[in-house]
Chain A
Amino acid sequence: MPSVATLPKSGAAGAQTAADAGILVVDGIVKQFDTPEGPLVAVDRVSLSVRPGEFLAVIGPSGCGKSTLFNVIGGLIDRYQGAVTVGGETVRGPHPAIGMVFQEESTFPWRTVIENVAFPLEIAGIARKERLEKAKRFIALVGLNGFENRYPAELSGGMRQRVAIARTLASEPKILLMDEPFASLDEQTRLLLGDKVLQIQQDLQQTTLLITHNITEAVQLADRILVMTYRPGRVKRMVEIDLPRPRSSDVVSSEAFGRYVAEIWSDLREEATRGMQDEESRTLHAGAAS
């Protein structure tokens, strides 16, 4: 990666202006889908700049375009306006520095756990022995030792999600995009795994973007939180989380932590209410039409 990695981590709150400082810069992204009911703007003029090694959480009501934004950044969607640059390089198609964990179930059912995790290494042409050893390490990291030779169908949903996380981690991306990776996990596993991911992130100085619906999780893990509006998905607010690390239980129970949670919660409630009203009027119209 270019020299941007040496920039100081604690930046100003208005990071959009310091676009050149970002390892990942998203500039004026507009993505529109053609649907049977006409064009639908999923992402509307979203700009942000992510600092090297930063942990950015993305939060917003369901259907606001978070996954779409990630797919644009990951180079998996084309025909959008605006530009995404990674280390100054414009993204056209999947970028080698970016690793993605998808929201949907994404393990390969015909591969065992270890073969799943070794997949990116296999694609990169790493020798079998070496890639299996490396895969084992990442399987242990997500707490799945002993399940190496099981098929995904033999695992629980949460375990499969951990396989998907390990698989992306095994490719050791500089920038990690995770779309609700902990959604299907129980509270305890989620905390443990969140800690693990955070630890890896801090160790490797990995730039991480995490979509979540869990405000506490976002405040606990992130350096900044991007709050998005309900359709069309815009940047509602960028919240700098100015809390010390490591965020132990003292920090989590502190008053400052609670204030962040309350603040984001009120932002989100506004958007979620708007979303619900929108859905309701839509179904009412649909009902009246038929």
Chain B
Amino acid sequence: MAEASRLNLPAAPNTGAKPRTVGRAEPVLVVRAVIIVFILLFWEAIAQSGLLYRDVVPSLLAIGAAIVKLLSAPDYYWHLWVTASEVGAGLIVGGLSGLLIGLALGGNRVLSKAFEPYLYYLGPTPKIIFFPVMIMWFGVGPGSKIAMGAISCFFPIALSTAAGMRQIDKVLIRVGQSFRASAWQMATKIYLPAMRHPIINGVRLGLGVAIIGTLLAETKLSNQGVGFLIIQAYSLFDMPRMYAMLIVLFVLAIGANALVGRLGGLSAIRQL
């Protein structure tokens, strides 16, 4: 856990795989709704007051109209698809290599001592500094964006896999051995399910930073993708459109995160 806090990763949830009590969710929802409504009112007040430039803080109505316009343009979906596939490819490449490296580090004390410190130092570094290198290696197209997503999610996934492997209750391994499980059975029936929480957690964090890395790269240099559209709206000073895209993006990111969490929850309950 000490490792996790250095990276500001949230601690892995406890192994007791119980869903939260449903009754508790309601007050939380109320608080959430109240805060959101309050923020919206505040925003609208500023927009109407004219304290700031109208263009910088457009009224909710203007933003709403921009969202409708954005979502009814087929062009937008094409850009969304470009970004989503870049993030997806980055997550697959970075996630699989992170998982393999994490397993190696978690299973081998010498390797972990030798290399894990570097991962901790590199983990919190803004990955955008690698972007020029990635452009040189993979070109100005999707390749360099995928690479940015992959680099971003590699670190949290590798580190939480390694930590998860070390945290496995040793007695569970002894149970498997004493029933003479094969290496494959040990891996699929004990190690992986025992590590499900840290791995899912790593994938969630990885997904977040992969989205950030990819979008950031798109805003720097590209002619397609949502990052490109946002920067374009900004340079045309089309603020309602820019806010509309940010809001849609925000909602999509929440949805993707919830999906990963849901998949993790399901695999925890179904036997592997």
The chain A residues found within 8 Å of chain B, CB to CB, are: 71, 74-76, 93-94, 96, 98-100, 102, 104-106, 108-112, 115, 119-120, 122-123, 151, 153-154, 171
Contacts across chains A and B counted by CB atoms under 8 Å: 66
The CA of A104 and the CA of B170, in the complex, are separated in Å by 10
Are A153 and B17 interface neighbours, CB within 8 A?
yes
- Smallest Cβ distance from B198 to chain A, in angstroms? 13
Q: With a CB–CB cut-off of 8 A, which chain A residues contact B16? A: 109, 153
Does B241 have its Cβ within 8 Å of any Cβ on chain A? no
Are A123 and B18 interface neighbours, CB within 8 A?
no
Q: With a CB–CB cut-off of 8 A, which chain B residues contact A75? A: 178
Q: With a CB–CB cut-off of 8 A, which chain B residues contact A99? A: 178
The CA of A105 and the CA of B16, in the complex, are separated in Å by 13
Are A110 and B17 interface neighbours, CB within 8 A?
yes
Known A111-B271, A154-B18; judge A120-B179 contact (CB<8 A): yes
Are A115 and B271 interface neighbours, CB within 8 A?
yes
Closest residue to A100 on the B side, CB-wise? Answer: B178
- C-beta contact mask, B249-272 vs A, less than 8 Å → 1, else 0? 000000000000000000011011
The CA of A98 and the CA of B171, in the complex, are separated in Å by 17
Interface residues on B, range: 20 to 34
Are A171 and B18 interface neighbours, CB within 8 A?
no
- Smallest Cβ distance from B22 to chain A, in angstroms? 16
Q: With a CB–CB cut-off of 8 A, which chain B residues contact A120? A: 179
Can you name 8 A-B pairs with beta carbons within 8 Å?
Answer: A104-B171, A106-B172, A108-B175, A109-B16, A110-B193, A110-B268, A111-B193, A123-B189
The CA of A61 and the CA of B202, in the complex, are separated in Å by 44
Known contacts A106-B175, A110-B268; 15 further A-B pairs (Cβ under 8 A): A76-B177, A76-B178, A93-B177, A100-B174, A100-B178, A102-B174, A105-B169, A106-B172, A106-B174, A110-B269, A110-B272, A111-B193, A122-B189, A153-B15, A153-B18
Nearest 4 CB-CB pairs, A to B?
A: A153-B16, A104-B171, A120-B179, A110-B193
Known A108-B193, A151-B17, A153-B16; judge A123-B181 contact (CB<8 A): yes
Main secondary structure of the interface of B (DSSP, over half): helix
The CA of A109 and the CA of B15, in the complex, are separated in Å by 7
Cross-interface CB contact of A171 among B179, B196, B268, cutoff 8 Å: B179
Closest residue to B173 on the A side, CB-wise? Answer: A76
- Smallest Cβ distance from B10 to chain A, in angstroms? 20
Q: With a CB–CB cut-off of 8 A, which chain A residues contact B194? A: 108, 110
The CA of A81 and the CA of B194, in the complex, are separated in Å by 33
The CA of A102 and the CA of B173, in the complex, are separated in Å by 12
Give residues of chain B (8-33) contacting chain A, Cβ–Cβ below 8 Å. 15-18
Give residues of chain B (202-256) contacting chain A, Cβ–Cβ below 8 Å. none
Does B185 have its Cβ within 8 Å of any Cβ on chain A? yes
Known A96-B180, A110-B196; judge A102-B171 contact (CB<8 A): yes
Closest residue to A77 on the B side, CB-wise? Answer: B174
Among the interface residues A71, A76, A154, which one has the most CB atoms of the partner chain B within 10 A?
A76
